[in-house]
Chain A
Amino acid sequence: RKEVEQDPGPFNVPEGATVAFNCTYSNSASQSFFWYRQDCRKEPKLLMSVYSSGNEDGRFTAQLNRASQYISLLIRDSKLSDSATYLCVVNDFNKFYFGSGTKLNVKP
């Protein structure tokens, strides 16, 4: 079983849509969680950390459900520039495990 599992997509949405990605992780003792964004032919860049209380950064909201071992990312009012691959990342004792990524295409 993979450490981190994500729906690979692609998610094809129109501009202005709301889209949500989920990610599940296998180790209940995992300590910290992140969403990264990776553009084509670029390195991953941190989008946001994910906290148990949930956190919001502009149009982006991340949630963590420890009981069910899943993490979510909600993007509101999608922009063309949001098109990218979104990677779910889990920290297990200072080893970072990446999901396979969910591809988002925002279309005009």
Chain B
Amino acid sequence: SAVISQKPSRDICQRGTSLTIQCQVDSQVTMMFWYRQQPGQSLTLIATANQGSEATYESGFVIDKFPISRPNLTFSTLTVSNMSPEDSSIYLCSAGDRGETQYFGPGTRLLVL
């Protein structure tokens, strides 16, 4: 199994600012994903982070709002840009190999004031 770390673990931000979340995997993996989870709800896939190319975004999520980088097979970042209170959520990174089990990081709890 992969061990995944995320930072920051939590943050409180002012509206209009941006926050970059980092995700580090302890081994090389083919697939990395970013999810959002609102309180009491299930996970919503934001995008697939592709190594060396632009991320693949799900419906309702755009690159200008959620730019993603994946410079190598063990690291990815998600930026939440121009934040508003509606962006308050838990952001989760996951990783795994193609078609195989995904493992999750501990999440980043974001509160936008």
**Which A residues have a C-beta under 8 Å from some C-beta of B?**
31-32, 34, 42-46, 49, 87, 89, 91, 94-101
Measured CB to CB, the nearest residue on chain A to B98 is A94
Contacts A43-B92, A43-B107, A45-B104 given: A91-B99 contact, CB under 8 Å?
yes
By a CB distance below 8 angstroms, the chain B residues around A42 are 106
Please give the distance in Å from A103's CB to the nearest CB on chain B: 10
By a CB distance below 8 angstroms, the chain B residues around A97 are 45
By a CB distance below 8 angstroms, the chain B residues around A101 are 42
**Which B residues have a C-beta under 8 Å from some C-beta of A?**
1, 31, 33, 41-43, 45, 48, 92, 94, 98-107
Please give the distance in Å from A48's CB to the nearest CB on chain B: 10
The answer to whether A46 and B103 have CB atoms under 8 Å apart is yes
Contacts A43-B106, A96-B33 given: A34-B45 contact, CB under 8 Å?
no
For the complex, give the distance between the alpha carbons of A79 and B48 in Å. Answer: 36
The answer to whether B104 and A98 have CB atoms under 8 Å apart is no
Interface majority SS (helix, strand, loop, mixed), chain B: loop
Chosen A-B contacts, 25 in total, with CB atoms closer than 8 Å, are A31-B99, A32-B99, A32-B100, A34-B101, A43-B105, A43-B106, A43-B107, A44-B104, A45-B104, A46-B1, A46-B101, A49-B101, A87-B42, A87-B43, A91-B99, A94-B31, A94-B98, A95-B45, A95-B48, A96-B33, A96-B94, A96-B102, A98-B45, A100-B41, A101-B42
By a CB distance below 8 angstroms, the chain A residues around B98 are 94
The answer to whether A99 and B101 have CB atoms under 8 Å apart is no
Q: Which of B33, B42, B105, B106 contacts A100 (CB 8 A)?
A: B42
By a CB distance below 8 angstroms, the chain B residues around A100 are 41-42
By a CB distance below 8 angstroms, the chain A residues around B101 are 34, 46, 49
By a CB distance below 8 angstroms, the chain B residues around A94 are 31, 48, 98-99
Measured CB to CB, the nearest residue on chain A to B97 is A94
Please give the distance in Å from B55's CB to the nearest CB on chain A: 13
By a CB distance below 8 angstroms, the chain A residues around B92 are 43-44
